[in-house]
Amino acid sequence: MQPLADRLRPTSLDEYVGQRHLVGEGAILRQAIESGNLPSMILWGPPGAGKTTLASIISHQLKRPFHTLSAVNSGVKDVRETIEKAKSQKFFSAPNPILFIDEIHRFSKSQQDSLLGAVEKGIVTLIGATTENPSFEVISALLSRCQVYVLKPLEKAELITLIERALQNDEYLRKKKIEVAEYDALLMFSGGDARKLLNVLELVSSLQPATGQLTITDELVTKAIQQNLAIYDKTGEMHYDIASAFIKSMRGSDPNAAVYWLARMIEGGEDIGFIARRMVILAAEDIGLANPNALLMATTCFTACHTVGLPEARIILSEAVIYLATSPKSNAAYLAIEKAQKIVQEKGTLPVPLHIRNAPTNLMKDLGYGKGYQYSHDYEEHFSPQEFLPKDIEGNKFFEPGESQPEQNIRQWLKKRWKDKYGY
């Protein structure tokens, strides 16, 4: 028997739950689908947000040939064979076949390169699905030929709609006497993932007692999950929970917990690139200027892992994880850019002060561009206390050094130069 998620997979946009910003009435992707003028695209979103379902609906609604490849199991040869098959299906003015690639972020550069020609020539319309930021994972030449649509986790009301539809419409569940008394555990274990939600619902529904009446409560759901935890772990569905535990352990300076969660990810088959990228982010966001070498360590780890690969990369990752976990912590750089962006959003595009504008032409010089600029290296200690911020926000302080010794040294350095201007 097919899993519940497959049995309930919608075949039209009207049946599709969620992503109203993309496929609701008048939304951008819905307009493209209804017009038949479909661009190649990357669907970026968390697991269970409906990426595969949306690709299937597009193909069904436009009545186009639909080819599917999984980046986990397919190589360059598979890509080329699929493209050749698509060529044979393209007659005269017939619309392009659709090539759907799940987990496109796992495709190597050579695999992605093999898609370029077919996308450029209109042999196929590419729909790639990814849980990773395509700016990092999809080569720029391919990304520039695709629209990127961001899918959001399903909201509470949307998840409840899925549960109700399943109980009313599924050919098996509607024959059972099932009542949902409490939704919280169902929603908690799903984490916004529609596929996971339906898996949990199907699991709990199998516990129907001999009396024939099943009342779903939070206690019942929790007990069922605890007894069947493997079904959520073996296919990586705890991916984001474990990644969160990994990051928070390093942020919390616990090398033992951090290495444990690292081991969980490695044993679960997690992409080492994903792990290393998260460490680069943490090094800047949570350690920052308290230990600037942390970012160098994390970046070197990222490069080394790609060079060496598994199984040896696990040792490189372990070394870097322990270093990051035991480093002093500071989020001063993170807070600084957050404050600065907030000012930009509030104040808009304030004019650049004339004296620090670029003046490559005589006209610009005549207009005062660059006039009065003081070249820092011409002054004692390579410093001149001139103004660099727009007039409307002069004196705003975005960077507040933390309590670590390196940052206290920075505070003293700034105070010596800027005196009381920024309150250092």
Query: Does one domain contain both 31 and 142?
Result: yes
Domain annotation covers residue 423: no
Query: Does one domain contain both 291 and 249?
Result: yes
The residues, ordered by sequence, that sit 6+ positions from 146 with a Cβ below 8 Å of its Cβ are: 39, 40, 41, 42, 119, 126, 128, 138
Query: Does one domain contain both 174 and 141?
Result: no
Confidence of residue 240 (pLDDT cuts 50, 70, 90): confident
Domain annotation covers residue 332: no
Query: Does one domain contain both 243 and 315?
Result: yes
The residues, ordered by sequence, that sit 6+ positions from 291 with a Cβ below 8 Å of its Cβ are: 327, 328, 404, 406
- Look up residue 207 and give its amino acid: L
Per residue in 65-81, pLDDT tens?
888 887 777 777 888 88
The answer to whether 289 and 405 are in contact (CB under 8 A) is: no
Domain annotation covers residue 280: yes
Query: Does one domain contain both 183 and 294?
Result: no
- Indicate which CATH number applies to the domain containing 381: 1.10.3710
What would the two tokens of residue 167 be? 């109980």
DSSP state for residue 357 in the 8-state scheme? S
Q: Does residue 233 register a pLDDT over 50? A: no
Domain annotation covers residue 330: no
Query: Does one domain contain both 229 and 243?
Result: no
Per residue in 339-386, pLDDT tens?
998 998 888 888 888 888 887 777 777 778 888 888 889 888 899 888
Q: Which run of H or of E encompasses 128?
A: strand 125-130
For the chain, the domain total comes to 4
Confidence of residue 295 (pLDDT cuts 50, 70, 90): very high
Per residue in 126-179, pLDDT tens?
999 998 888 878 888 888 889 999 998 888 899 999 999 998 888 888 888 888
Query: Does one domain contain both 122 and 189?
Result: no
Exposure on the CB side of residue 29, measured as CA atoms within 13 A: 23
Query: Does one domain contain both 195 and 229?
Result: yes
Task: Select from 150, 168, 188 the last residue of a domain.
Answer: 150
Query: How much is the pLDDT for 229?
Result: 52
The residues, ordered by sequence, that sit 6+ positions from 55 with a Cβ below 8 Å of its Cβ are: 43, 66, 98, 100, 127, 129
Q: Residue 281 is part of which domain span? A: 239-325
Q: Taking the complete model, does pTM exceed 0.75, yes or no?
A: no
Q: How far apart are CA 121 and CA 139, in angstroms?
A: 18
* Mean pLDDT rounded to a whole number for the chain: 86
Query: Does one domain contain both 78 and 25?
Result: yes
Q: For residue 147, what are the β-bridge partners? A: 41
The residues, ordered by sequence, that sit 6+ positions from 343 with a Cβ below 8 Å of its Cβ are: 393, 396, 398
Query: Does one domain contain both 304 and 244?
Result: yes
Confidence of residue 333 (pLDDT cuts 50, 70, 90): very high
Confidence of residue 314 (pLDDT cuts 50, 70, 90): very high
Domain annotation covers residue 274: yes
Q: Is 185 exposed, middle or buried (0-12, 13-18, 19+ CB in 10 A)?
A: buried
Domain annotation covers residue 343: no
Task: Select from 150, 178, 193 the last residue of a domain.
Answer: 150
Percent of the chain with pLDDT over 90: 26
- Indicate which CATH number applies to the domain containing 270: 1.20.272.10
Query: Does one domain contain both 45 and 63?
Result: yes
Query: How much is the pLDDT for 228?
Result: 64
Q: Which run of H or of E encompasses 179?
A: strand 177-180
Domain annotation covers residue 12: no
Confidence of residue 231 (pLDDT cuts 50, 70, 90): very low
The residues, ordered by sequence, that sit 6+ positions from 273 with a Cβ below 8 Å of its Cβ are: 302, 305, 306
Domain annotation covers residue 36: yes
Task: Select from 106, 131, 150 the last residue of a domain.
Answer: 150
Query: Does one domain contain both 28 and 72?
Result: yes
- Indicate which CATH number applies to the domain containing 88: 3.40.50.300
